[in-house]
Structure formats: structure tokens, C-alpha cells
Amino acid sequence: MISKNRSIAKNSALPALFLLCLVSTSSCKTQPHLDLHQSETLTMTLRELPSGYPALAPFHYAHVIDPRDTFVLLESLTYERGSGVPLVHGQRHQVFTRNQAESLAPELSKALNLALPHEVAAFSVSDAEYPRHYTKGLAFVHGDELHLIIEELPRARHVDMEHHDPQQVPRWVLLPRDGQRHYTSFQGSTGAIPNWIIIPIP
């Protein structure tokens, strides 16, 4: 009788043990991304830095990023199309329109203030008139600096690079302002990464 009761108890405990293991396993897994905002013209996601980029994590989110500072930065960011001719510079173009900067700034600030040390903010933003013409990029804070990587610009404004290979030279270049610079140390390379800009945080 005792042997029979032990067998019943053992059999009834197996499903509970299996369920406990399943819950523990799922809770220990790192979420691949966390969607913070999703609309027709803007998406904001926290995720790990994609493979192919240098392993810079853990990132240091010690600063609270003010949306007003973010807006000023986004609206002032410019690029030029590559002419293919050395020493010949093209015309400056804004990376973000005013509407894009206004919608992106508060969501980007929120994402950077919520990000964990292994996460970056991945975004896509467009204008309501052209919702399919996205500007896409990544942002994270390292030390006292904001790193901003523009992976794709709308094809309606220029022919962009294939953003799957960070080392590929784009047909456009971000233009740093005073105190800003391009990222230059990538897998032993000494050349600047033209779509990756580093900005001091005020």
C-alpha cells in the first residue's frame, strides 16, 4: 500500500516539475528585443547590438537624456552624398526632417533612459506623407557620449548603402559638427566609419 502511494505521488509530481522547469527556462532567457513604440511612422525597439558591429557592451547609461537636447541634435544632423571624386564635397542634407525629429526625440530619449547595459535603441522613422520612406538607425550611450549609427536613408532622397555590412563604404557620409567625430576603431581598421557618429552628452 505504501509502495502504491509513493508511485502515485511520484507520478503526480512529474507534471508539476516539468512545468516549473519550463517557467524557469523561459524566465532566464534574454529577450531578443523589447518594442517600446509602434506606429505607421515610428518604431522604437530595445535590442542587442546586431552582429557585425564591434562588441562594445556593456554600455553606460549614467546620463538622463533630455528630449529637448535630443531634438536639437537630431534636427541638426546632416550628411552629404558621396561624389566618388576625392576632395570634392557635395551639398549638406538633413538626416531627419523637423517632423521626424519631433516624433523621434522623446521616444529615443525614453528608450535610452530605459535601456539595459547590453541594449541599444533601434529605430525607424518616416514622415506621414511618405510612411514607407524610413530613416533607420541605432543609438546607445557609452561613457559620456551618444553613439548614433544611421543604417539607412530613404531611397527617395538618395541611393543608400546596403546596411547589412557595417564596413561597406556608403554613398553618403554623416557630417560631424564641433566636438563630434566618426567612429574610427573597428576590427583593427584605422579608417572612419562614415555612418557612425559620436556626440558628447551635455
SS3 200: strand
Helix-, strand-, coil-residue percentages of the chain, each rounded to 5: 25, 35, 40
Q: What is the tens place of the pLDDT at every residue in 83-141?
A: 544 444 567 889 999 999 999 999 999 999 999 999 999 999 999 888 888 999 999 99
Would you kindly state where each structural domain of the chain is located, as residue ranges?
A: 1-30, 32-200
Output the pLDDT for position 2: 44
Output the pLDDT for position 158: 45
Q: What is the tens place of the pLDDT at every residue in 142-194?
A: 988 999 999 999 864 444 444 444 444 457 899 998 889 999 875 555 578 89
Output the pLDDT for position 189: 58
Q: What is the tens place of the pLDDT at every residue in 1-55?
A: 544 443 444 344 434 433 333 333 333 334 578 888 899 999 999 999 998 888 8
Query: Contact at 8 Å (CB) between 148 and 69?
Result: no
Output the pLDDT for position 90: 65
Closest CA to 197 of 65, 184, 188: 184
Q: Residue 199's beta-bridge partner residues?
A: 146
Query: Contact at 8 Å (CB) between 127 and 97?
Result: yes
Q: How far is the C-alpha of 164 from the C-alpha of 30, rounded, in Å?
A: 23
Output the pLDDT for position 139: 97
Q: Check whether the bond before 131 is cis (ω within 30° of 0).
A: no
Q: How far is the C-alpha of 135 from the C-alpha of 17, rounded, in Å?
A: 48
